[in-house]
Amino acid sequence: MSNLKYSHMNHWKNIPYQRIDNFREFYYEDKTNSAYYTDWDRILRYQKALGFSGIELAPWDFPEMLPLFGSPKAFKNFAAERGVEVSGMFHLIDKAHDRTHHKQTFEEGKKAVDLLVEFGGKHLNSAPINNYYGVGPLSHSQIKAAAEIITELGKYATDNGVQIGIHNEFFLAINKDNHREYLELTDPRYVNYCLDTAQVALLGEDILEFYDTYHDRICTFHLKDTATPSLPDDIRYSRDIEIVDDGTRWFWEPGEGVLDFKGLYQLLKKHQFKGWITVETDGTPDLLASMALSRYYIDNELTAIYN
């Protein structure tokens, strides 16, 4: 069995149907490919066919998913029947810089951990704070407060068999100038790191140097590429920059941008990384095409380096 397991980060958004009773009739309602993307059975079969044995979920899925399936366990069983398991879940550590909000922040985090346990997942990949716009710049005291609350939540997660992984993003208040300071203020016994290759590169980090330095903290990855690393401050600090509607793509499939994934896989081998790697097809106009391109690149360019 390979030491690397591949998951897909779910950006299908709200999939409304667990089952389509008559696929042909459903197709003829609008005669587009939407029928292929509105059925959980098919989505999970795509993932399994392309070698993704895991799925990572996000909070925006749950208003549709949970009423549809009835419970996290029901979705877990439904996915398992198709050879897919929940690898993890995304979560925001809301208002982490504000100690007066920590009680609520912790309760929200506990609910996320408990929900992930019900789904059978292991990784709670957590944005460490809100967007830079409206929050930054942070003082040292605020950075310390943010580190304290994720460490507190990390203790609870660890006790329940879940790993908290810091998932930093290029537009958050934990940003280039305080990224490593924040990480080093957290307790490594309870707080790990989910290395999103594109986000950290956009932030201004060299992903190879960062992984080599902090490899013992990194528990999982979001694998995606970018063509625009090291964005200037005025972009990273601007309002709603990740969701600009001018057609800008910050993220690309591995191999379609400029990041050195071959060098990264040499380091994965050097440090004997084992576990989940999630391919996140964020911002793509065609999720299935991106899944296939990503898998081809992994299988034909990267796997031999690690093996």
CB 153, CB 197: distance < 8 Å:
no
The pLDDT assigned to 21 comes to 83
- 278-302 pLDDT, tens per residue? 999 888 888 899 999 999 999 999 9
Contact 131, 176 (CB under 8 A): no
Q: What pLDDT digit, counting tens, does each position of 123-167 carry?
A: 999 999 999 999 999 999 999 999 999 999 999 999 999 999 999
- Amino acid identity of residue 298, one-letter, is I
CATH number, domain of 237, equals: 3.20.20.150
CA triplet 238, 164, 140: central angle to 5 degrees?
Answer: 50
Mean model confidence pLDDT for the chain: 94
The DSSP secondary structure of 14-67, one letter per residue, reads ---BS--S-HHHHHHHH-SGGGGGSBHHHHHHHHHHTT--EEEE-GGGHHHHHH
Among 33-42, 60-69, 109-118, 241-250, top mean pLDDT goes to 109-118
Is pLDDT of 109 > 70? yes
pLDDT at 19: 79
Q: How much is the pLDDT for 197?
A: 98
Its pTM stands at 0.95
Closest CA to 65 of 115, 16, 3, 109: 16
Q: Tell which residue, 107, 130, 111, has the closest CA to residue 119.
A: 111
Percent of the chain residues past pLDDT 90, beyond the cut: 82
User: Does 255 have pLDDT greater than 70?
Assistant: yes
**Can you give the residue range of the structural domain that contains 141?**
4-306
- The total number of structural domains in the chain stands at 1
Residue 246, pLDDT above cutoff 90: no
